[in-house]
Amino acid sequence: MQNHILNYLYRTAARLPDKTAYADDACALTFGEVLRRTRSIGSFLHGAGVYKQPVAVFMRKSPMEITAFLGVIAGGDFYVPLDEEMPDSRIQLILENVRTPILLCDAATAEKARGFDLKGARVVLYDDIIATPADDAALDAIHRAAIDTDPIYIVFTSGSTGIPKGVAACHRSVMDYIEQLSEVLAFGEDTVFGNQAPLYFDACLKDVYSTLKFGATTWLIPQRLFSFPIALVEYLNAHKVNTICWVVSALTMVSALGTFKTVKPQYLRTVAFGSEVFPIKQFRLWREAVPGAAFTNLYGPTEGTGMCCYYRADHDFADDDVIPIGRPFANREVLLLKPDGTLAENGEEGEICIRGTAVTLGYYNDPERTAQAFVQNPLNTAYPELIYRTGDIGRRNAAGELIFVSRRDHQIKHMGHRIELGEIEANVNMVEDVSMAACVYDKARQKIVLYYVGALDERALTTALKAKLPRYMLPNRCVRMERLPLTANGKIDRVTLKNMAEAK
């Protein structure tokens, strides 16, 4: 039985040492080279005495960054991806949470890294350690000592208090995910992935680890191409990309702008999408443009290790239909729990809760918030069994397929990103001269609208927020007000604000 994620790499590198594993416009690494770098980085960490610790990787998205992740695992540690796209204050909060001994950087990020309060962490340059001679005996001992419930990464997700939450996942959860996902999406050695997902989210697990398992190839698509649809499709064709697992907003950007009138993807056979609702009109344009491809809707929270449910969208839908989220992958169960802790039945709504190996280890260094979301299965009083409560409300249709209904709280999905409106508000309230703030989401126009009271004008506020919030969390519109509407019991009246936003 497999108990270590790097076994994928060891087996594939022995079989296909000269095949390209990961590539972008600047560089391509073969499986043999990925293995060599992985073992060098692992040996460096061993030599530095870093074992069973979080290691932050702060690099530009590249094939090299992936080898840094794998090298951290080879050293018996777990990686914490940081990215230039993250605002400084968020990176600082992450560093304070994880207390990493080492910040692994490249030439492009090292200077910025040294500007943080590193809490004792040492900045190490990737290029300086990839020639470290492999310490085979040490690496083999680390590998043998590993247990499949040891963490391999921590990725951070939005938290409503303004402090992001670090989701830690182990070997076993990731391997289980890759096994089940690849069976449903029929990945194989001839799969050529076109990666869109940032490497600092669990969304990239699909491309990164399936490539290792099967000896496939992943092209990391330059981010700017996602603004220029014809060049993007030409890129897919030039690299014979046959498999894409993208957020819906990336897919709709291509179809909605009329790209298929000029150019169509020629090699695509697998299109997986998720993280938000695919508008039927856009889904139809894709099916017409790529009639030979299989389309699959995916659903799942980071806390359930990547995706949890799938639905094969193999037929047309009515304009006002919603594509179901379908069924859980094998080896995990979705419980629809009503507020009283019993199961929802016959089309009743309930909270989507996940049971099984896919449930991650919890929020790193955060027992309180972990205990709120990772709870004892209320249907099991006989032995300890944690389930993850997603906060998503769902129901089953007549065919037994899961349908996403709504959120229990103020979490939204915007451009494929999971965002707590509370986190935006918390950061706005930290800006000097702002006395009150509330965010609403105008779903039809896909805009985050911020209403605030304060001495700053919109321009100054936006400038201040850019230092605090990731790009995708910045309000799309800021509206300064004399005062915010309040409900009878004195709370901010979000319903009125939402109506205002939608009426504009």
Partner 1 sequence: MEELLHILNELHPDIDFTTQEHLIDDMILDSFDIVTLIAEIGDTFDVTITADKIVPENFNSAKALYALIQEMEDEA
Binding positions for partner 1, rule: CB under 8 A: 224, 226-231, 249-250, 253, 256-259, 261-262, 415, 458-460, 462-463, 466, 471-472, 476-478
Q: What residues are paired with 448 via a beta bridge?
A: 441
* Cβ closest to partner 1, residue 257 vs residue 330: 257
* Cβ closest to partner 1, residue 316 vs residue 457: 457
Query: Please, what is the minimum distance in Å from the beta carbon of residue 442 to partner 1?
Result: 12
Query: Please, what is the minimum distance in Å from the beta carbon of residue 446 to partner 1?
Result: 8
Distance (Å, rounded) from C-alpha 432 to C-alpha 436?
Answer: 11
Q: What residues are paired with 388 via a beta bridge?
A: 354, 374
Q: Is 262 helix (H, G, I), strand (E, B) or coil?
A: coil
* Cβ closest to partner 1, residue 401 vs residue 458: 458
CB 236 within 8 A of CB 268: yes
Query: Please, what is the minimum distance in Å from the beta carbon of residue 465 to partner 1?
Result: 9
What count of Cα atoms within 13 Å lies in the side-chain half-sphere of residue 491? 5
Q: Is 426 helix (H, G, I), strand (E, B) or coil?
A: helix
H or E element at residue 69: helix 63-74
* Cβ closest to partner 1, residue 242 vs residue 259: 259
Query: Please, what is the minimum distance in Å from the beta carbon of residue 463 to partner 1?
Result: 4
DSSP annotation of 19: S
**In 3D, which of 237, 271, 305 has the Cα closest to residue 5?**
305
**In 3D, which of 166, 167, 168, 172 has the Cα closest to residue 149?**
172
Query: Please, what is the minimum distance in Å from the beta carbon of residue 490 to partner 1?
Result: 31
Query: Please, what is the minimum distance in Å from the beta carbon of residue 226 to partner 1?
Result: 4
What count of Cα atoms within 13 Å lies in the side-chain half-sphere of residue 203? 24
User: E-assigned strands of 25-164?
Assistant: 28-30, 54-58, 78-82, 102-105, 122-125, 151-157
* Cβ closest to partner 1, residue 229 vs residue 422: 229
* Cβ closest to partner 1, residue 70 vs residue 86: 86
**In 3D, which of 449, 447, 409, 443 has the Cα closest to residue 425?**
449
* Cβ closest to partner 1, residue 204 vs residue 250: 250
* Cβ closest to partner 1, residue 171 vs residue 417: 417
H or E element at residue 332: strand 332-337
Distance (Å, rounded) from C-alpha 413 to C-alpha 134?
Answer: 44
Q: Where are the alpha helices (DSSP H) in 146-228?
A: 171-185, 205-214
* Cβ closest to partner 1, residue 249 vs residue 370: 249
Query: Please, what is the minimum distance in Å from the beta carbon of residue 467 to partner 1?
Result: 11
Query: Please, what is the minimum distance in Å from the beta carbon of residue 276 to partner 1?
Result: 13
CB 259 within 8 A of CB 230: yes
Q: Is 81 helix (H, G, I), strand (E, B) or coil?
A: strand
Rounded to 5, what percent of the chain is helix, strand, coil?
Answer: 35, 25, 40
* Cβ closest to partner 1, residue 38 vs residue 196: 196
Angle between helices 205-214 and 6-15 (to 10 degrees): 40
Query: Please, what is the minimum distance in Å from the beta carbon of residue 279 to partner 1?
Result: 13
Query: Please, what is the minimum distance in Å from the beta carbon of residue 175 to partner 1?
Result: 32
User: E-assigned strands of 264-356?
Assistant: 270-274, 294-299, 309-312, 327-328, 332-337, 350-356
